[in-house]
């Protein structure tokens, strides 16, 4: 039990090598191995969170028994414990979902590398969440990014090109982060987050510190697809194989958002990030522009998957607004939204992936009649859509509610207005889709041409089950929001608020 | 002014290199040149970290009793940034590997690595 924070990184890291090695001889073992690893990670994540909740304080793990600040420290507290659990659940569900999808989308010879990368991706994400060391975070960020580039490169059409562009951008972001760590190291001589928090306050006027801070924020901003530097996201996530975008789209950007919160409020003092250097204010105004821009662009997309990609940028904007409020309620909203959005995006991408595989279209205008052929998938799409709009009792309503309360308490009326306007635009977006799905075809659009001889095949259980579980999580997170907020998130808010 | 530049010449080299790399990544049309720019960008950061760790008159960080009876940190180069860069070098090699394999895929598909020609092919 005490080793869980380390095991959640070590086990999948080792497993990815084994999957690759065994896959060379017997490719059938890859899928069960991957599933077993991710299930073990779920146990580790749940165990770590349980340990934190029962002890009521963060769990520290010193790798190799080297005390911080010399060694690498892994920390699980209320904030990242919850994010870690959500990640582990979605990674496992994405793993189950990939079973039939991979056979459809990836050539047989590539199955072993695919699953090795899939697990490596999860390793990077878990590691970024659990680590308490700035440089270790960089290494795990790069592990996650590399797996993402390679997985996206396996996709359809121009996917290698999109992956290459993503890589140029992603490397720029990671290098900016690394430079930021370097500047902080020059003035403090430490890489440990908790140690930096102790050393930094007397240095808050230092120019090197401000430069380092700026580099860290820009670097994380690129990785979380914050508005002006989000341009890598739509192409790469749209063209990636469905099984890959189900894993990547919900998780990676949200882990980036978590890292941003960690840097702004844990490594630096909240008073520094909100008032001394009004970074959160700037982030808030950029997020406002991002929400408006991306939700309007999402409306303009006919391709469902590309539309969801713009929706991710919108959701990241909401999290940015929560951070910008700079108060307790806003931050509860932001962290709760991170968790909720992991599930919402997972559900949406799974549903769209299944529709693409079986209904053979991704065009929002050609969805007429999909509810008769695929009732469960359509239901999941509706639940997730309602959650993105923010309709109770889905979880999206409650996180937006806290975000709204945060903006009111901060008296940021523009932020509040944009939050409401963004939800309205999302409502237009989804109700247009629901109309196409459930009601008769419009006369001005010709009925979809189906290639002769193709028969409709039902979605497999391995596709249904994760979708239904995700939808159930969305409802349950909404119903038990009070418990989660008062039991976990209330303790997750960094001291200083 | 000259003294200011010369006394910290290693940092100036890092700044110049990182700018060259950034220019290559952003302005070049050829994807291979973009990749070269990216590599220069990464390696200039490695140079920066190595500069942080080194000290004038410092020696290898192995305690040597003959140097001075008491251990003084000034005598030894700080090994930590150098160790960190071992990891960063591995990261850089991995990036280059993935980038080259993606470029091969792109070249097979479009017969070119010029960005504008690929974008034109995508429009069709």
Task: Residue A448: count other Cβ atoms within 10 Å of its Cβ.
Answer: 15
A230: helix, strand or coil: coil
Return the pLDDT at A441.
60
Q: Which domains does chain B have, with CATH numbers?
A: 2-123 (1.10.287.3510)
Look at residues A347, A351, A323 and name the one whose alpha carbon lies nearest to residue A335.
A323
Q: How far is A143 from B91, CA to CA, in rounded Å?
A: 8
Interface touch A158/B122, C-beta < 8 Å: yes
Please tell me the total number of residues recorded for chain A in this structure.
Answer: 497
Phi, psi of A179 (to 5 degrees): -60, -40
A179: helix, strand or coil: helix
Interface touch B41/A172, C-beta < 8 Å: yes
Interface touch B103/A182, C-beta < 8 Å: no
pLDDT tens for chain A, residues 1 to 497: 788 889 999 999 999 999 999 888 888 888 899 999 999 999 999 999 999 998 888 889 898 888 888 889 999 988 889 999 999 999 999 999 998 888 888 888 888 889 999 999 999 999 999 999 999 999 999 999 999 999 998 888 889 999 999 999 999 999 999 999 999 999 998 899 989 988 888 888 888 899 999 999 999 999 998 888 888 899 899 999 989 999 999 999 999 999 999 999 889 888 888 888 888 888 999 999 999 999 999 998 888 899 999 999 999 999 999 999 888 889 999 999 999 999 999 999 999 998 888 888 888 888 887 878 888 888 999 999 999 998 888 898 999 999 999 999 988 899 999 999 999 999 999 998 888 888 866 554 555 555 555 566 777 888 889 999 999 999 999 898 888 888 888 888 877 67
CA–CA distance from A87 to each of A115, A250, A332, A478, A491 (Å)?
Answer: 17, 9, 18, 18, 20
> Which of A157, A161, A165, A181 should we substitute to test contact with B (largest number of B Cβ atoms within 10 Å)?
A161
Find the closest chain A residue to B116 by CA distance.
A161
Find the closest chain B residue to A169 by CA distance.
B25
The residues near A293 (Cβ < 8 Å, ≥ 6 apart) are A227
Q: List own/partner pairs for A307-311 with CB under 8 A and 24 or more apart.
A: A307/A364, A307/A429, A308/A237, A308/A249, A308/A345, A308/A348, A308/A349, A308/A352, A309/A233, A309/A234, A309/A237, A309/A238, A309/A249, A310/A234, A311/A345, A311/A348, A311/A388, A311/A426, A311/A429
Q: What angle (nearest 5°) sits at the alpha carbon of residue A235, between those of residues A234 and A236? A: 100
Give chain A's contact residues with B (Cβ, < 8 Å): 135, 139, 142, 146, 149-150, 153, 158, 160-161, 163-164, 167-168, 171-172, 175, 178-179, 182, 185-186
Q: How far is A268 from B1, CA to CA, in rounded Å?
A: 35
Q: Does residue A252 contact residue A74 with C-beta atoms inside 8 Å?
A: no
Burial class of A199 by CB neighbour count within 10 A (0 to 12, 13 to 18, 19+): middle
- At B112, the pLDDT band (50, 70, 90 cuts) reads confident
Q: What angle (nearest 5°) sits at the alpha carbon of residue A31, between those of residues A25 and A34? A: 105
Beta strands, E only, A70-178: 73-76
Please compute the mean of the pLDDT values over residues B92-119 and round it to a whole number.
91
Interface touch B99/A185, C-beta < 8 Å: no
Q: In the numeric block, which tokens belong to residue A298? A: 């999402």
**Does B112 lie at the interface with A, CB-CB under 8 angstroms?**
no
Q: Is A306 left (phi over 0), alpha (psi -120 to 50) or beta?
A: alpha
Interface touch B52/A150, C-beta < 8 Å: no
Candidates B45, B48, B84; nearest CB to A135: B84
A205: helix, strand or coil: coil
Look at residues A427, A245, A400 and name the one whose alpha carbon lies nearest to residue A329.
A400
> Which of A150, A171, A208 should we substitute to test contact with B (largest number of B Cβ atoms within 10 Å)?
A171
Q: Does residue A387 contact residue A336 with C-beta atoms inside 8 Å?
A: no
User: How many CB contacts within 8 angstroms connect chain A with chain B?
Assistant: 64
DSSP class of A224: T
Find the closest chain B residue to A179 by CA distance.
B45
pTM above 0.90, yes or no: yes
Interface touch A142/B105, C-beta < 8 Å: no
Q: How far is A398 from A477, CA to CA, in rounded Å?
A: 9
Enter the ipTM. 0.93
User: Residue A363 forms beta bridges with which residues?
Assistant: A303
């Amino acid at each position: 039990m005490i080793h869980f924070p380390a095991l959640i990184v070590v086990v999948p890291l080792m497993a990815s090598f084994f999957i690759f090695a065994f896959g060379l001889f017997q490719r059938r073992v890859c899928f069960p191995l991957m599933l077993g690893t991710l299930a073990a990670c779920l146990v580790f994540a749940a165990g770590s969170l349980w340990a934190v909740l029962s002890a009521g304080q963060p769990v520290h793990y010193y790798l190799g028994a080297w005390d911080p600040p010399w060694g690498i420290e892994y920390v699980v507290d209320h904030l990242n414990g919850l994010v870690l659990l959500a990640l582990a659940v979605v990674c496992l569900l994405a793993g189950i979902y990939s079973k039939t999808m991979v056979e459809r989308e990836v050539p047989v010879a590539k199955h072993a590398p695919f699953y090795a990368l899939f697990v490596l991706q999860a390793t990077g994400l878990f590691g970024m969440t659990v680590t308490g060391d700035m440089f270790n975070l960089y290494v795990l960020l790069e592990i996650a990014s590399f797996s993402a580039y390679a997985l996206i490169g396996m996709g359809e059409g121009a996917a290698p090109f999109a992956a290459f562009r993503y890589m140029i951008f992603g490397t720029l972001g990671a290098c900016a982060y690394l430079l930021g760590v370097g500047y902080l190291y020059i003035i403090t001589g430490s890489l440990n987050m908790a140690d930096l928090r102790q050393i930094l306050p007397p240095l808050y006027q230092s120019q090197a510190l401000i430069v380092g801070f700026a580099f860290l924020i820009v670097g994380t901003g690129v990785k979380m697809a914050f508005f002006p530097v989000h341009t890598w996201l739509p192409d790469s996530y749209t063209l990636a194989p469905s099984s890959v975008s189900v894993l990547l789209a919900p998780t990676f950007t949200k882990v980036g958002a978590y890292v941003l919160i960690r840097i702004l409020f844990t490594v630096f003092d909240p008073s520094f990030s909100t008032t001394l250097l009004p970074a959160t204010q700037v982030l808030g105004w950029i997020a406002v522009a991002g929400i408006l821009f991306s939700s309007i662009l999402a409306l303009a997309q006919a391709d469902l998957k590309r539309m969801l990609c713009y929706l991710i940028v919108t959701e990241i904007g909401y999290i940015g607004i929560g951070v910008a409020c700079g108060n307790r309620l806003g931050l509860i909203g932001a962290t709760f939204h991170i968790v909720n959005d992991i599930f919402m995006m997972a559900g949406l991408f799974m549903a769209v992936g299944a529709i693409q595989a079986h209904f053979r279209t991704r065009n929002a205008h050609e969805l007429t009649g999909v509810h008769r052929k695929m009732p469960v998938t359509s239901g999941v799409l509706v639940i997730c859509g309602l959650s993105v709009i923010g309709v109770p009792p889905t979880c999206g309503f409650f996180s937006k509610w806290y975000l709204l309360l945060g903006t009111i308490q901060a008296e940021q009326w523009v932020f509040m207005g944009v939050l409401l306007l963004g939800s309205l635009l999302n409502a237009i977006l989804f109700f247009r889709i629901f109309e196409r799905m459930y009601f008769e075809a419009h006369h001005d659009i010709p009925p979809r041409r189906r290639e002769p001889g193709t028969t409709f095949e039902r979605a497999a259980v391995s596709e249904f089950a994760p979708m239904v579980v995700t939808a159930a999580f969305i409802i349950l997170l909404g119903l038990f929001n009070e418990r989660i907020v008062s039991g976990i998130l209330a303790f997750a808010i960094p001291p200083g608020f | 002014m000259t003294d200011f530049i010369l006394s910290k010449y290693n940092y100036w080299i890092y700044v110049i290199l990182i700018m060259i790399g950034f220019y290559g990544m952003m302005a070049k049309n050829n994807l291979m040149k973009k990749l070269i720019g990216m590599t220069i960008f990464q390696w200039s950061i490695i140079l920066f970290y190595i500069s942080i760790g080194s000290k004038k008159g410092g020696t290898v960080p192995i305690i040597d009793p003959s140097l001075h009876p008491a251990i003084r940190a000034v005598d030894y180069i700080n090994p930590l940034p150098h160790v960190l860069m071992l990891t960063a070098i591995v990261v850089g090699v991995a990036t280059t590997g993935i980038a080259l394999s993606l470029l091969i895929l792109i070249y097979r598909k479009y017969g070119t690595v010029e960005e504008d020609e690929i974008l034109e092919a995508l429009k069709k």
